[in-house]
Amino acid sequence: MPKTDCSKSLSLMSAAETETACRFHRSFPQYGETPLVNLSRLAAYFGVKGIFVKDESFRFDLNAFKVLGGSYAIGKYIARQLGKEISEIDYNTLVSDGTKKKLGDITFYTATDGNHGRGVAWAANRLRQKSVVLMPRGSSQIRLQNILAEGADASITDLNYDDAVRLANKKASRDPHGVMVQDTAWEGYEEIPGWIMQGYGSMSFEAARQLKEAGFERPTHIFVQAGVGSLAGSVAGYFTGIFPDNPPKVVVTEASAADCLYISSLAGKLVGVKGNLTTIMAGLACGEGNTISWEILKNCADFFVSAPDWVASRGMRVLAVPLKGDNKVISGESGAVTAGLLFTLLRDADYRDFREALGINADSVALLFSTEGNTDPEKFRDVVWDGEFPSGNM
């Protein structure tokens, strides 16, 4: 998909907004910068300059990046209720007796396959508030238990992801103390999803600085996964904004069963995907895209890829069993799909045309985001130990 002028859609993910989000997250006692793993041996093996993976399995001990968005959105909402800007408050302010007395009880509602809901539940619990989390049918029992452990009222519904979102929104609208905190946007509901995208920006802010510390000024290529597209829009917006004269090429990767952005790129407008959305990439099983993220992606992304499950399983194995000298990355199904895609493009002759269209060569520096660890350990073992979803033709 050819790029056009991105400037009008990039203010949401400006460097200043992203730095504000990162400063907020640093105020949490649980904060720690996640590692940027340099797969230098893999890069040398394929004859490229660099391959880097941001490993979010270490984020706040929650095994996924999603808490960055939920916590920041909740923080901004509470700041507004206090009549302040987010830059004026920190974690200690949010958890204080004075803040609790002014706010009273708030219940934050959301729908999730696991990671986002756990992040919202964790943030609400830490900030002395409540949460209600709905999950789509087929959700992992382990992920449900992790959300319940954070104090949420959580359950698995008989709905697909998009319908679970609608139900959570209905429940929030009927609760006088309810607030919907969803990582997607639709007409009439865009402010909080925008805050969530800004919260995700802490990850990009860290990665850009870590890349420079490793001796690389900028990535030439960014591979980022997408469900509704909030993460992809956040990453694409931030890196396009900080490198306006020579932005990295952005490759957005979705699960084939829920490739709404890929289909939207072909249609030239945002369209949805219906059905059960069955894929091992539970975090990407979303059939309706984020409207504000789409405004960034339609202008700033270079390619949209619809990837079958075997691409994710290949990525999980490549990261978990690296070349000697490279550090391993324990990455879940949704976290590893971009690694599987890049590996496939670099290794398999069948994809030479795509590789050449991307302009991948000896000077290329690829940046990937492993957005989750083994959030479903049994599925992780099925794939990495037992070879479930073996590699095949894309």
E strand or H helix that includes residue 142: helix 141-148
Backbone angles phi, psi at 144, to 5 degrees: -60, -45
Given 54, 55, 66, 76, which residue is catalytic? Answer: 66
Report CA dihedral (60, 63, 64, 69) to the nearest 10 degrees: -30
Which parts of 301-351 fold into alpha helices (H)?
Answer: 309-320, 333-347
Report CA dihedral (339, 123, 77, 153) to the nearest 10 degrees: 100
Rounded to the nearest 10 degrees, what angle do helices 309-320 and 333-347 cross at? 90
Known catalytic residue at 379: no
Handedness of CA 107, 110, 112, 117 (dihedral sign): negative
The tokens for 373 are: 């660890």
Q: Which residues pair with 132 in a beta bridge?
A: 109, 153
SS3 38: strand
332 vs 315: CA distance, rounded Å: 9
Residue (of 262, 265, 301, 269) closest to 284 by Cα position: 262
Given 54, 55, 76, 113, which residue is catalytic? Answer: 113
119 vs 122: CA distance, rounded Å: 5
The tokens for 89 are: 């408050």
DSSP symbol at 34: P
Residue (of 315, 308, 311) closest to 332 by Cα position: 315
242 vs 229: CA distance, rounded Å: 20
Known catalytic residue at 66: yes
300 vs 238: CA distance, rounded Å: 10
∠ CA 303-273-65, nearest 5°, is 60
- The set of catalytic residues is 66, 113
